[in-house]
Structure 1
Amino acid sequence: MRVLVTNDDGIDSPGLYALARAASSLGWEVLVAAPSTEASGTGTSLASASGRSRIPLERRQVDGFEAFAVPGHPALISFIACQGGFGERPDLVLSGVNLGANTSTGILHSGTVGAALAASARGVSALAVSLDVEWDGSAPLWDTATDVARAVLPMLAEMPAATVLNLNVPNAATVRGIEWADIAPSSPYQVHFESNGDELKLRAVKTDLEPVPGTEIAFLADGYAALTPLRSVAAASTSGLPSPAWPA
């Protein structure tokens, strides 16, 4: 089993190599390729800092892993790997471990999830892994996230090609279990904008909304890891929609 491990926190993130070690411990062949710098919030962007024609690769050896620092977004790295750009096409793409949960509407913007969705669009199954670290300076427990991921990976390997799973793990020494979870209808964080006319300042504020039962946010609050299957690209139903008029 050959796997690509990538992320959106950048090539120097400890979570990246924690996930690589978890995959390696299963006896799988691991290639690490991640953004040269942080690329959080880039979703499924295929942008590169160096343009489209030439993308320089910085080769590294970290913790015994062959690694590439790429001046591009995680979905682009996933796309390149699934096209054979780093050698043999991977059987799986693993993205993370992200510093912070990827839940609710935040999934749409997540570079961590974006890399997994980009793999799925090219027929490769993928797992996005995120650790629910609060913005209060709490130390990330990477081993907790990778212990849970290691339990999920053999199942993912047996699932149909192009499967995408989004795994969120509580930042706790003990996890009560792993539960299939729905996507929460609203994020526990709301972004506020402040402007002085010349610049905008963004500030995330945690709300006091009660988590909806059965969602990733509710399971995380109760100490469970939340596992959510995602679709890469799917059309909504056209049933009941009016017929477009043409010519107008």
Structure 2
Amino acid sequence: MASSRRLRALITNDDGIDSPGLWALAAGARDAGFDVVVAAPHVDASGVGASVLSVREGNRTRLHRRELDGLPGIPAYAVEGHPAFIVHSAGRGWLDPEPDVVLSGINRGANLGHAVLHSGTVGAVLAGSLHGWRGLAVSLDVPEQDTERPRWETVLAVLPEVLDVLLAAPDGTALSLNVPNLPAAEIGELREARLSAFGAVQVRVDLRTGEHGEALHSAVEEMASAPEPGTDLGLLTAGHPTLTELQSVSERPGVLDRAAPSRRAG
């Protein structure tokens, strides 16, 4: 690293402060030479996207200092707020010095397709990009019903190469990494992937009426069609770690120009 100081990495997630994947990512960042600080939701916050909600008492949001197994000397905080809230707070005066990069994960389950919009893991790095920080969302493809041990070590084997890509990218770059839950020796080469149409699964929501009144019932359904080649889902299914650059909030000019013919017709 060319700087006279070590780059600072904020490690967060949406699975919560007690997730082994979070601890593994923090260890990987430490071993890569980063100055590491860990701040993650005090409870599971999966599916919150880029929400900046927190549990407030007036204008206060509680945080709790923690010591994490295997990470002596690394400051860690359980925060009563969502991942993007944590990242946003780091850029609005909480952390000094501010982080240079945001690393989010390791999520237990892949984050694929345009459904990454709903991911708190991804939402954290998109929030960081608004502050001009590079960010990496890291996910391991462990099915929810899988009882096998997640192979965090496979992610850590891929991580150094991906961090090199991240640090060479422009400020504000947001990347999403998905890794197969296989032994490191069995995975394919790292591939750049475009987003699939949605993801590996979809949620079906039905309205049901019972003794407690009406309620919405959710059920996860796997996609029926085969994954499209070259997408994050297709490449991950074939055993490749996938890397995708995501674009955060930006404007797209020309909306009135595109509407001009129909407006003139009236």
* C-alpha distance in 1 between matches for 2:29 and 2:53: 27
Q: Work out which of the residue numbers 232, 236, 243 in structure 2 matches 1:220.
A: 236
Q: Please say if 1:242 is aligned against 2:244.
A: no
TM-score normalised by length of structure 2: 0.88
Q: Is the 8 A contact 1:105 1:185 kept in 2?
A: yes
Matched position secondary structure for 2:165: helix
Q: Work out which of the residue numbers 197, 200, 204 in structure 2 matches 1:192.
A: 204
Q: Is the 8 A contact 1:82 1:124 kept in 2?
A: no
Q: How does 1:171-190 map to 2 (within 5 A)?
A: 171-173=181-183, 174-190=186-202
Counterpart AA for 2:16: G
* C-alpha distance in 2 between matches for 1:180 and 1:4: 24
Larger % of helix: which? 2
Corresponding residue for 1:169?
179
Moved more, 158-167 or 232-241: 232-241
1:80-133: CA deviation from partner (whole Å, max 9, x where unpaired): 112341221001000000010111122010000000000001100100000011
* C-alpha distance in 1 between matches for 2:253 and 2:112: 24
Structure 1 residue 43: Cα displacement? 0.5
Q: Work out which of the residue numbers 215, 222, 225 in structure 2 matches 1:206.
A: 222
Q: Please say if 1:79 is aligned against 2:88.
A: yes
Structure 1 residue 237: Cα displacement? 4.7
When residues 184 and 237 of structure 1 are mapped into structure 2, their CA distance, relative to the original with a 3 A threshold, is farther
Q: Is the 8 A contact 2:55 2:62 kept in 1?
A: no
* C-alpha distance in 1 between matches for 2:22 and 2:132: 23
When residues 21 and 44 of structure 1 are mapped into structure 2, their CA distance, relative to the original with a 3 A threshold, is same
In the alignment of these two chains, the number of paired residues is 246
Instruction: In structure 1, list runs of 5 or more residues that go unmatched.
Output: none
Structure 1 residue 57: Cα displacement? 1.2
TM-score normalised by length of structure 1: 0.94
Runs of 4+ that moved beyond 3 A: none
Q: Please say if 1:28 is aligned against 2:34.
A: yes
Counterpart AA for 1:241: R
Identity %: 41
When residues 51 and 211 of structure 1 are mapped into structure 2, their CA distance, relative to the original with a 3 A threshold, is farther
Q: Is the 8 A contact 1:188 1:208 kept in 2?
A: no
1:40-60: CA deviation from partner (whole Å, max 9, x where unpaired): 111110100225711111011
Q: Work out which of the residue numbers 245, 261, 266 in structure 2 matches 1:229.
A: 245
* C-alpha distance in 1 between matches for 2:247 and 2:58: 27
Q: Is the 8 A contact 2:111 2:199 kept in 1?
A: no
* C-alpha distance in 2 between matches for 1:142 and 1:71: 26
**What is the RMSD computed on CA atoms of the aligned residues?**
1.8
Structure 1 residue 143: Cα displacement? 1.1
Structure 1 residue 193: Cα displacement? 2.0
Corresponding residue for 1:115?
124
* C-alpha distance in 1 between matches for 2:57 and 2:129: 24
1:7-52: CA deviation from partner (whole Å, max 9, x where unpaired): 0000000000100000000121000000000001111101002257
Q: How does 1:29-68 map to 2 (within 5 A)?
A: 29-50=35-56, 53-62=59-68, 63-64=71-72, 65-68=74-77
Instruction: In structure 2, list runs of 5 or more residues that go unmatched.
Output: 1-6
